Structure 1
Amino acid sequence: MLKELRISIGQCSDKGRKESNQDFHGALIPTSPLLGMKGIAVALADGISSSRVSHIASETAVKSFLTDYYCTPESWSVRTSAQRVLAAANSWLHAQNRRSEYRYDQDRGFACTLSALVLKSATAHLFHVGDSRIYRIAGCALEQLTTDHRVVVSSEVSYLGRAMGVAPHVEIDCRELPVDAGDVFLLATDGVYEHVDADFLINTIADHADDLDRAARLAVEEALRRGSTDNLTLQILRIDAVPDADAGDLLSRLSDLPPPPLLEPGEEFEGYRILRELHASSRSHVYLAQDGAAGPAVALKVPAIDRRDDRAHLRRFLMEEWIARRIKSPHVLKAPPQNRPRRHLYVVTDYLEGQTLTQWMRDHPDPDLPTVRAIVEQIGKGLQAFHRLEMLHQDLRPDNVMIDRTGTVKIVDFGSVLVPGILETMPDADHDEILGTLQYTAPEYLLGEGGTPASDLYALGVIAYQMLTGRLPYGADAATATTRARQRKLVYRTALSDQREIPAWLDGVLRKAVHPDPAKRYQEMSEFLYDLRHPRKHGAGTRRRPLIDRNPLAFWQGLSALLALAVLVLLAGRV
């Protein structure tokens, strides 16, 4: 049986010798499947002593982090989720300062430090701003994992260089660490760590391993005994069990189901009636099926016989339905509600009546520009829905785009989609595998680099170019350019020709969209879609590229010839 992440936690907070406690702390341990998808979150905040309202800032920062983090999409990485939530909390606190009496006195306003820890799968994700601290017990030593954002002016004067609520934007320190069963983490405010030494903490935790609340309370009491005058808060987390590589991944559990046999028309299969086979490939078989006796038509997909022992393939296979349930866009294939339990491994999505973009291009070898724009824009909107959830399609090609009978364009086949939130539950997965089709694969993938939204945009640019010209922008050369040197030598073939009326400015737009260097492509899909319809006076492609960019060899040959000529002239002058 797969293990789940389990921790023991002890916490203690005390106002100490102050009138009130401006610290705030909390932890949230969800149940499955949220435990596997989002992990366990712990947070601690310390209000600024000079402020009468910093306790509100501390409580707001911790509560908003612990609650809002679990409201972020499951597809987002821990870092993206935490940073978005903390940025929103900081903006709210700063807005409160701007509209309050503390507008010009930040040290008296809504400000606090924050240290947070998210444990997901076998990784600890640390987020920190200010001078509260996160430690880890490493053997017989206490290792500080965060850096204090305190500026020391003298032995008696110092101030926080960074804190929540002080500025419109806050820089959050982020760090990731592998964890194992038995690891112990501590979150502490300065009222504790400035007065209790490492030996006391380590020994106290070891002596009270079965009651971490007592260990935290004893540490707080010891800090008070040693003269602490500040609020005191300590959280102790011990990792009791680390999940197996895929324990947090519901997809992996489903992939343990037995694949069904190949299905036949007329067959009844788990409440579906198989009508006919729609498509067969080396990866899967797709059938048209009816849900129940009078239900809607659906597409039912089962893995191909030859791929049923490939666990990575089965996981990607199941991803299609998982993704289809989470992306809300009229230009992305959806999955119908699934309430019945499954006894076999298969995927069900909506059935689309229409044709692939590949077939459409065969039927329309010379499409007009407005039609091409309309199709490309719909694909682009579908990709934007992926990117909003931090997903990358990674295999956009004409075969993976459908045009239904109403003319609506939809992106289908999500087996290659990159989902950071899922990858974090699979630390042993091969993230560098090229899953797309080489003719449409962005050049950075061929270098073993990770993709970005600009990588999907490259594939869309190639499709737009192909629809307008009937060929690829670099021919077959781009698919074999596996080094930077070879990619720099790629020569873009202009889309302009005597056979088709394509504006020169549009050729510049396409050239930028499929540039081999991702930094020189459009960085936003919206910008590319806008430029498809709006020529820019000084936009992409309106100026001729320098010779050194178009043909570096010819540039250096010409320069060498000029230098040689100059030398000959100088020699002739000396004679």
Structure 2
Amino acid sequence: MTHCLCIAAGQYSDKGIKAKNQDYLGLVSPTPPRLILKGITAAIADGISSSDVSHIASETAINSLLEDYYCTSETWTVQHSGEQVMRAINSWLYSQTRRSDFRFDINRGYVCTLSALILRGHNAHIFHVGDSRIYRLRDQALEQLTSDHRLWESAQKSYLARAMGMADCVEVDYRHTSLQAEDVFILTTDGIYEYVTPEYLRETIRQHPDDLDNAAEQIARHALDNGSDDNLSIQLIRITAVPASSQTSLQPDITQLPLPPALEPGMTFDGYEIIRNLHTTSRSHVFLARDLPSNEKVVLKLPSVEQQHDEDYLERLMMEEWIGRRIQNAHVIQPWIPDRPRQYLYTVSEYFEGRTLAQWLRDNPKPTLEQVRVIIDQVARGLRAFHRLEMLHQDLKPDNLMIDDEGRLKIIDFGSTSVRGLAEIGLDNSNELPGTALYMAPEYFLGQGGQPQSDQFSLGVLAYHLLSGKFPYGVEVARCKSVSAQRRLQYRSILVNEESEVPAWVDDAIQKATRIDPYKRYDDMFEFVHDLRTPNQDFLRKARPPLMERNPVAFWQGAAIIELVVLLMLAYQLVVG
């Protein structure tokens, strides 16, 4: 087995007996690390015969898919990336029709089918709209992996029920399946599959395993000989090797670099002058340094002596820089990109003139409610940048937040960050408990994966701690490793402290953000941020005293009116009875 996915491919497309070829197909097989991160993409599209511009739709759809998919974030899952691109293509095609002379006749507009196959790691991901097809041939068994979006009026007459560009929104079929060596994937339009038997497909591919272009052409010509009156397009992709099950480094050159020497203030190291030690733990040493060519201050993070032989830790250390490069946000610390090759294994980030929020809290043990609101708002904005890229920080705590004298704040330390796109291919540290127990969401202790609401829980705990110096469930969350044990946990209201000046509705907001059940927390983190400033309507309805207490006169007036109405109804029934 190899460290990368390997394929052999062949394709053929021809107009057949028609005057114009409205089909289009394409394939991109990048080199590492993009091959590892994004995979191999193949796609096929078929225009509709009633439209004179659908060949433009097919070509545009394929070219856009093959280009735009590789521009999506490397942190996104394949499904998220593929669906976003497919929907964008659909919107563009539909808008072109709406701006054209065919805006009142969609069957003459920019419409086509689109079927895409993305091969990454050990999985095949399939995106499909229309009636082109994707098959898989495994051990001589042929399986259709897509469903035709076609409505049949009779045995002889049918029409497309779903296609790209047909409506302003499109429903994209998605599925994924595992890969095995020698699997063959077949992407084809109806001009071929309606005129070729499964037996002929299997036999032709079996006879030409190393010349798939020839096999594709033979299959297309066989369809033409059998009476096909449509365009003829087919792609054949054979899996020649699947990646080894062990993790593959995204940065093989960097992780082979030598470990740095012990550093001291005043030393010159790899183009940096060491100024002072900022932070030392059993896992890493952090130094303030000056980049000599630019004279800019930077932060160097080096593995500790204890971790220098832990390959998993070293890979995660370098992954922090990889993650940082993909997030552009004012509230997230940014990596420093030097203009020279690195000679040792370490990371470099911008220097933010400030202190950790833990240090700030020691100097400001009783922050005002407004100070807490400003801090939580900034952290939430930084977390949103993670979540938009399908990443979770997972270790939100005062030690991982930097704040300056003006109150500006940045999130630091991405060592526990989960990247969904990398988790799909096993390049994620999801097997470990992330974060710090006092701030971690309860679902982690049940062995469940995180979600944006998990970071929201940590944000709620942070708000609680800033306002009270304590924690909403004490130290009990980490001890409860079953659903039944977690259900017995009780939120400890901030208002229990008689000296607390926190409004009840703020406490209510924090309680919701830190609920044990993640599905009972806020749907969106910024609802929590909003409720820290404005009383939630649900709270106001819940906290509002009954009418009897608020306005006794109105209560008794209402009761009298109801009684009068009842008496009148009874009197009416007696009269008519």
TM-score by length of 2: 0.89
The one-letter code of the counterpart of 2:171 is E
| Partner-residue secondary structure (3-state), 1:286 | strand
Overall identity of the aligned pairs, in %: 52
8 A Cα contact 1:392 1:418, kept in partner: yes
> Who is 2:203 aligned against?
203
Distance apart, 1:293 and its partner CA: 6.4
Count of residues in correspondence between the two structures: 543
> Who is 1:551 aligned against?
none
> Who is 1:305 aligned against?
305
> Who is 1:556 aligned against?
none
Residue-by-residue CA offset, 1:457-500 (whole Å, 9 max, x unaligned): 11111101111111111112222222222222221122224312
Establish whether residue 59 from structure 1 lines up as the match of residue 53 from structure 2.
no
Q: Distance in 1 between matches of 2:483 and 2:540?
A: 23
> Who is 1:330 aligned against?
330
Distance apart, 1:502 and its partner CA: 1.3
> Who is 1:560 aligned against?
none
Distance apart, 1:275 and its partner CA: 2.6
| Partner-residue secondary structure (3-state), 2:538 | coil
> Who is 1:281 aligned against?
281
8 A Cα contact 1:274 1:287, kept in partner: yes
Change (3 A) 1:430 1:336: closer
> Who is 1:13 aligned against?
13
8 A Cα contact 2:23 2:55, kept in partner: yes
> Who is 1:555 aligned against?
none
> Who is 1:257 aligned against?
257
The one-letter code of the counterpart of 1:375 is I
| Partner-residue secondary structure (3-state), 1:125 | strand
8 A Cα contact 1:507 1:541, kept in partner: no
Q: Distance in 2 between matches of 1:282 and 1:252?
A: 25
Q: Distance in 2 between matches of 1:153 and 1:489?
A: 59
| Partner-residue secondary structure (3-state), 1:529 | helix
8 A Cα contact 2:337 2:348, kept in partner: no
Q: Distance in 1 between matches of 2:314 and 2:409?
A: 27
8 A Cα contact 1:22 1:58, kept in partner: yes
> Who is 2:567 aligned against?
none
Distance apart, 1:41 and its partner CA: 1.2
Distance apart, 1:101 and its partner CA: 4.7
The one-letter code of the counterpart of 2:155 is S
Q: Distance in 1 between matches of 2:227 and 2:91?
A: 36
> Who is 2:388 aligned against?
388
8 A Cα contact 2:11 2:212, kept in partner: yes
8 A Cα contact 2:65 2:85, kept in partner: yes
Change (3 A) 1:293 1:211: closer
> Who is 2:345 aligned against?
345
The one-letter code of the counterpart of 1:43 is A
The one-letter code of the counterpart of 2:286 is V
Instruction: Give runs of aligned pairs for residues 7-86 of structure 1, distance below 5 A.
Output: 7-86=7-86
Q: Distance in 2 between matches of 1:259 and 1:462?
A: 37
The one-letter code of the counterpart of 2:529 is L
Residue-by-residue CA offset, 1:154-203 (whole Å, 9 max, x unaligned): 31232333221222222212222232443221101111111112232223
Distance apart, 1:399 and its partner CA: 0.9
Q: Distance in 2 between matches of 1:448 and 1:168?
A: 41
Q: Distance in 2 between matches of 1:489 and 1:133?
A: 52
Distance apart, 1:398 and its partner CA: 1.0
For structure 1, which segment, 19-28 or 284-293, has the greater mean C-alpha deviation from structure 2 after superposition? 284-293
For structure 1, which segment, 307-316 or 332-341, has the greater mean C-alpha deviation from structure 2 after superposition? 307-316
Change (3 A) 1:294 1:64: closer
Q: Distance in 2 between matches of 1:421 and 1:341?
A: 28
8 A Cα contact 1:511 1:541, kept in partner: no
Change (3 A) 1:310 1:474: same
Distance apart, 1:345 and its partner CA: 1.6
Q: Distance in 1 between matches of 2:22 and 2:349?
A: 52
Distance apart, 1:2 and its partner CA: 6.7
8 A Cα contact 2:418 2:429, kept in partner: no
Q: Distance in 2 between matches of 1:481 and 1:541?
A: 33
Distance apart, 1:248 and its partner CA: 6.0
8 A Cα contact 2:111 2:163, kept in partner: yes
The one-letter code of the counterpart of 1:462 is V
| Partner-residue secondary structure (3-state), 2:115 | strand
Residue-by-residue CA offset, 1:395-447 (whole Å, 9 max, x unaligned): 111111111244210000001111123333436x6634211111111122222
| Partner-residue secondary structure (3-state), 1:543 | helix
> Who is 2:454 aligned against?
455
8 A Cα contact 2:327 2:385, kept in partner: yes
> Who is 2:530 aligned against?
530
| Partner-residue secondary structure (3-state), 1:318 | helix
TM-score by length of 1: 0.89
Instruction: Give runs of aligned pairs for residues 491-570 of structure 1, distance below 5 A.
Output: 491-496=490-495, 497-536=497-536, 538-540=537-539, 543=542
Change (3 A) 1:523 1:447: same
For structure 1, which segment, 250-259 or 213-222, has the greater mean C-alpha deviation from structure 2 after superposition? 250-259
> Who is 1:179 aligned against?
179
8 A Cα contact 2:138 2:182, kept in partner: no
Q: Distance in 2 between matches of 1:413 and 1:334?
A: 11
Unmatched runs of 5 consecutive residues or more in structure 1: 546-575
Change (3 A) 1:442 1:157: same
Change (3 A) 1:62 1:83: same
> Who is 1:483 aligned against?
482
| Partner-residue secondary structure (3-state), 1:235 | strand
Instruction: Give runs of aligned pairs for residues 60-459 of structure 1, distance below 5 A.
Output: 60-245=60-245, 249-251=249-251, 253-292=253-292, 295-426=295-426, 431-459=430-458
The one-letter code of the counterpart of 2:472 is P
> Who is 2:561 aligned against?
none
Change (3 A) 1:71 1:294: closer
Q: Distance in 2 between matches of 1:488 and 1:111?
A: 53
Q: Distance in 2 between matches of 1:98 and 1:464?
A: 50
| Partner-residue secondary structure (3-state), 2:125 | strand
8 A Cα contact 1:512 1:540, kept in partner: no
Distance apart, 1:370 and its partner CA: 0.9
8 A Cα contact 1:378 1:409, kept in partner: yes
Residue-by-residue CA offset, 1:339-364 (whole Å, 9 max, x unaligned): 32233221111223321111212221
8 A Cα contact 1:22 1:231, kept in partner: yes
Change (3 A) 1:403 1:542: farther
| Partner-residue secondary structure (3-state), 1:135 | strand
Unmatched runs of 5 consecutive residues or more in structure 2: 545-577
Q: Distance in 1 between matches of 2:338 and 2:423?
A: 24
Q: Distance in 2 between matches of 1:450 and 1:44?
A: 35
Residue-by-residue CA offset, 1:255-286 (whole Å, 9 max, x unaligned): 33332243233333222222332211122111
Q: Distance in 1 between matches of 2:138 and 2:308?
A: 43
The one-letter code of the counterpart of 1:82 is G
The one-letter code of the counterpart of 1:459 is S
